[in-house]
Structure 1
Amino acid sequence: MSDSFVLVINSGSSSLKFAVIDSQSGEAVLSGLGECFGLADARMSWKFNGQKSEIAVEGEENHHKLAIGKLVGLTEELGLASNIVAIGHRIVHGGEKFTKTVRIDEAVTAEIEKLADLAPLHNPAGAIGIRAAIEAFPALPQFAVFDTAFHQTMPEKAFTGAIASELYSEYGIRRYGFHGTSHYFVSREAAKMLNKPVEESSFISVHLGNGASVCAISNGNSVDTSMGFTPLSGLMMGTRCGDLDPGIIEFLMKKGWSQEKVFETLNKKSGFLGVSGITSDARGVLEAMEDGHEGAKLAFEVFTYRVAKYIGSYLIPLDHLDAVIFTGGIGENSLPIRREIMRNLKLLGFVEDEKGNEAARFGAAGIIGNSELLGAVALVVPTNEEFVIAQQSVELL
C-alpha cells in the first residue's frame, strides 16, 4: 500500500458516491454512498476493512455539503486524512471545452455549471459536490475528470449528426459519448494482457451495466461510441430505450403525452424494464427467463442482439481488431449474456471458450473466446473508473 490516497467523489442529484483510492494499487481503502438527499431519510453508508457502517445525514437541506462535512470527520477518525493528497471529481459532461482532466478553480467550476444544458441532472450536482469539497478540504488540490473527455478524439464524421449545421454551431448538438473513463481504463488493461502497446492496438470496448455503451478504440483513442448527445442513445439499457426513431416522440405527443411523460418513459421505464415488464436488473431478467417468462426472454434477446449488432458495425472505423472487451456489472459477470452475444457474432468467427467464460467473473479477468477469422479474442476486463480518476489527479499534481 502506498502512502498517497486520492478521495474520489461522484456527486449525483440526490446522492454522493465516494472512495479513498490508493493511487498506486487502485485499491479502494474506503468506499461509501450518500443517498436519499433532499428527503427526510438522507443517509450515508460506507465500508472500511470489511466492516459496513451507516449514519443519518440530518438537516433539511444542503445534504451534499453536510455529507462531505461528515466525510472529513470520517477520514480523520479512520486515520486516512493525513495521506489524502488530492480530491478527484467525476463530472459527466465536459462538452467540447474539456478534453482532459483539469485542476479545479472557480473558472472551471463555473464552466461545468454552464454545461448544465447538456447534462441537467448531473453537472449541477457535480458542481455542488465540488463547491462543498473545496469548503471542506480547502488545503487539498482538486481535479475534474470528465466522462466525455476520452471521446474528444472522435473524427468529425463520427461525431457529426446528419442535421442542420446550425444545430451544432449554435447549440453544440453532436455525439459526445460517455463511460469514457471506463473505456479508457479497460483498453489499457487489455493491451497489457495481450502484451501489446496500446498505441498499436484496436479494440471494441463493451461496457454493459445499468447504463451501457460500445466504443471503437484505435491506437488508444476513441474513434466512435454508441452514446450520443445524451446517454439515452445507443444500446438498450436497464431503463433507457437506446436508439429510437425520433418520430416516435412526435407521435406520442400528438397522442396527448406530455414532454415530461415521453422522456420519463424513455429514460426510466424502457430497456430491460420496459421490454420484460418486470425488472430493470439483468439478473432478474435471467432468472425470470429460466422460469419461462416470455417478456424476460424477449428482453434478453433484444439486448444481446443489439450489442452484437453494434460490435459488428464498429469494425468499420478500425483497420484491424485485437479484442472485444467486456466490462461493467453485466459485462464482467453475466456468463449467459456474453455467451449469447458471441453466438450472434458467429459470422465474424467468434467461438466461446466455455471454461474461460465461466472463470472470468466476479472480479476475474480473462479470455472468453476468440475469432481465427479476425485474429482477435474476446476478453473480460473489470473496470476501475475510480482508479483512473485517482491516477489522473495524481499525475496532474
Structure 2
Amino acid sequence: MVNKILVINPGSTSTKVAVFDDEEIIKNKTLAHSHKKLKNFNRINDQYKYRKDQVLESLEEMNIALSELNAVVARGGLLKPLKGGTYEINDLMYNHLMKGVEGEHASNLGGLIARELSDELFIPGYIVDPVVVDEMEQVAKVSGFVEVDRKSIFHALNQKAVARKVSGELGKNYNEAKIIVSHLGGGISVGVHKYGKVVDVNNALDGDGPFSPERCGSLPWGDLLKNLKENNKNYEEAKKDLIGNGGLASYLGTTDARKVEELIENNDDKAKLIFEAMAYQVAKEIGACSVVVDGEVDALVLTGGLSNSERLVNLIKKKVNFIAPVYVFPGEFEMQALALGALRVLRNEEKPKKYMPG
C-alpha cells in the first residue's frame, strides 16, 4: 500500500506544500503571502486559518483529493525542548503552539494546521525534528555563568536529514555514526551527531558560533556591553542589530552571499576579508566540535543555501578535510525529511513520540 502524505512547511512570507507517495514527491507548490496581507494579523499565530485555507486551495489546484491522504506532517515550531524524532500532535502541543509558550514563529503554524486537518480527515498528524530538539550532553550546556545555560536551537530537521543520508553512504546506520554537520544559511549551526543524537551544537538563533549573513554569532562580551551602554541601546534594539543585522549585513550591508561574491570578483578587499572570516569561523567551529568525539569523526557535512557557494565550500574544506571526508549537500531537504519522518512511523519502523515536556 502506498502512503500519500501531505507535507506543510510555513515560512515567514510563504508556505511550502507537497504531497508524497511514500518517498516520491508527486506534487508541490510554494504559496507566497504578501506583506500587505500578513500585516492584517496582529500575531503570527492569527495567520493559521488564512494559511490553512491557502493549503486547502492549493490541494484542490493540484487535484489532490483530501480522502486520498493517509497522514499530514508539518515542520515543528517553538516548543519546550524535546528529543529528536517524529511526534504526534497532541492536545498539549497544539495548545503550546497556539499560545506561543516558547515564542511565536511561522513554523508554529505548521503544527496548528496539521492538527486541524488530521482531526477533520481522521488521519495521523505529526511534526518532525523541530528547531528545539535538545539532545545535548549536560557538560555541553555549561556556559561559564551560572545564570545562563547554553541552549540547543538549530536546524535540526535538515541536519538530521543529511546526517542520515551520509550515514547510508558510509554503509552505517545513523545510530552508529559520528558526523559533524554544518548548516550554512541565514543562520549557521554546527552540530555533533553521535550515535543518533546531536550531543553538542551552537545556538543558531540568538547565541554563539560562527557569524552568518544576518547573525553576529559569538562576540567579545566585554566590548559588546560597553558598546550597548555607550549607544544607549535597549534589549529590542540590540537584538535587532545582533540577530537581524549582524554578520555580513553588519559589515557589508547585505545578507546575499551572491552579492558579496560579486564584490570579491570586482576586487573588493573588504568583502574578500569578511567572506573569508565567515568561512574561517565555520571551519574553527568544526574543528572545536571534533574534540567532542575525541577526533573520531566519520564524516563532515556542509549543507544549507550557502553551501551552493563553491568559493565558501572550498575555503572551509581546505581547513577541515584533514579531520574526515567532507560531503556537500547544497540547499535544504526539509520537505523530504518531513515526509520520511512520517513514513518511518507509518511503516512501523519507529514509534511516534509523545510531547510530554517535564
TM-score normalised by structure 2 residue count: 0.83
**Per-residue CA shift, 1:199-238, capped at 9, x if unaligned?**
332211111112211111222321211226x444212111
How many residue pairs were aligned?
Answer: 336
**Per-residue CA shift, 1:300-333, capped at 9, x if unaligned?**
11101101101111111114122111111112x2
Tell whether the 8 Å contact from 1:19 to 1:28 is kept in structure 2 after alignment.
no
The match for 2:125 is 142
Tell whether the 8 Å contact from 2:74 to 2:111 is kept in structure 1 after alignment.
yes
Matched, 1:393 2:342: yes
The match for 1:85 is 70
1:129 Cα deviation from its structure 2 partner: 4.5
CA spacing shift, 1:244–1:28, aligned 2, 3 Å: farther
Tell whether the 8 Å contact from 1:23 to 1:394 is kept in structure 2 after alignment.
no
**Per-residue CA shift, 1:368-390, capped at 9, x if unaligned?**
xxx4xx5x311113541222222
CA spacing shift, 1:98–1:225, aligned 2, 3 Å: closer
* SS, match of residue 327 in structure 1: strand
Q: 2:136 aligns with which of 154, 165, 168?
A: 154
Q: Distance in 1 between matches of 2:113 and 2:163?
A: 33
1:156 Cα deviation from its structure 2 partner: 0.4
Q: Distance in 2 between matches of 1:251 and 1:390?
A: 48
* SS, match of residue 339 in structure 1: helix
Which has the higher mean CA deviation after the structures are superposed, 302-311 or 278-287? 278-287
Q: Distance in 2 between matches of 1:294 and 1:388?
A: 40
Unaligned runs of at least 5 residues, structure 2:
347-358
CA spacing shift, 1:278–1:148, aligned 2, 3 Å: closer
Q: Distance in 1 between matches of 2:339 and 2:81?
A: 23
* SS, match of residue 50 in structure 2: helix
1:291 Cα deviation from its structure 2 partner: 0.4
The match for 2:3 is 4
Q: Distance in 2 between matches of 1:200 and 1:130?
A: 30
Q: Distance in 2 between matches of 1:246 and 1:121?
A: 27
Matched, 1:377 2:352: no
The letter for the 1-side match of 2:192 is: A
Q: Distance in 2 between matches of 1:239 and 1:257?
A: 19
1:135 Cα deviation from its structure 2 partner: 4.4
The letter for the 2-side match of 1:141 is: P
* SS, match of residue 241 in structure 1: coil
* SS, match of residue 237 in structure 1: coil
The match for 1:15 is 13
**Which aligned pairs between 1:184-263 and structure 2 lie closer than 5 A?**
184-227=160-203, 230-255=205-230, 256-263=232-239
**Per-residue CA shift, 1:105-139, capped at 9, x if unaligned?**
3221123456644xx341xx444444445445621
1:184 Cα deviation from its structure 2 partner: 0.8
State the 4+ residue runs in structure 1 displaced beyond 6 angstroms. Answer: none
1:26 Cα deviation from its structure 2 partner: 4.7
**Per-residue CA shift, 1:30-65, capped at 9, x if unaligned?**
1213323xx4355xxxxxxxxxxxxxxxx9545442
Taking only the aligned residue pairs, the percentage that are identical comes to: 26
Matched, 1:272 2:220: no
* SS, match of residue 181 in structure 2: strand
The letter for the 2-side match of 1:293 is: D
Tell whether the 8 Å contact from 1:102 to 1:143 is kept in structure 2 after alignment.
yes
Q: Distance in 1 between matches of 2:82 and 2:170?
A: 34
Tell whether the 8 Å contact from 1:273 to 1:279 is kept in structure 2 after alignment.
yes
**Per-residue CA shift, 1:71-116, capped at 9, x if unaligned?**
2132123222343322222124333355533211322112345664
Q: 1:73 aligns with which of 44, 47, 57?
A: 57
Tell whether the 8 Å contact from 1:185 to 1:384 is kept in structure 2 after alignment.
yes
Q: Distance in 1 between matches of 2:25 and 2:192?
A: 28
* SS, match of residue 316 in structure 1: helix
The match for 1:307 is 282
CA spacing shift, 1:204–1:68, aligned 2, 3 Å: same
CA spacing shift, 1:132–1:339, aligned 2, 3 Å: closer
TM-score normalised by structure 1 residue count: 0.76
1:187 Cα deviation from its structure 2 partner: 1.1
The letter for the 2-side match of 1:6 is: I
Tell whether the 8 Å contact from 1:103 to 1:396 is kept in structure 2 after alignment.
no
Tell whether the 8 Å contact from 1:100 to 1:149 is kept in structure 2 after alignment.
no
Matched, 1:103 2:88: yes
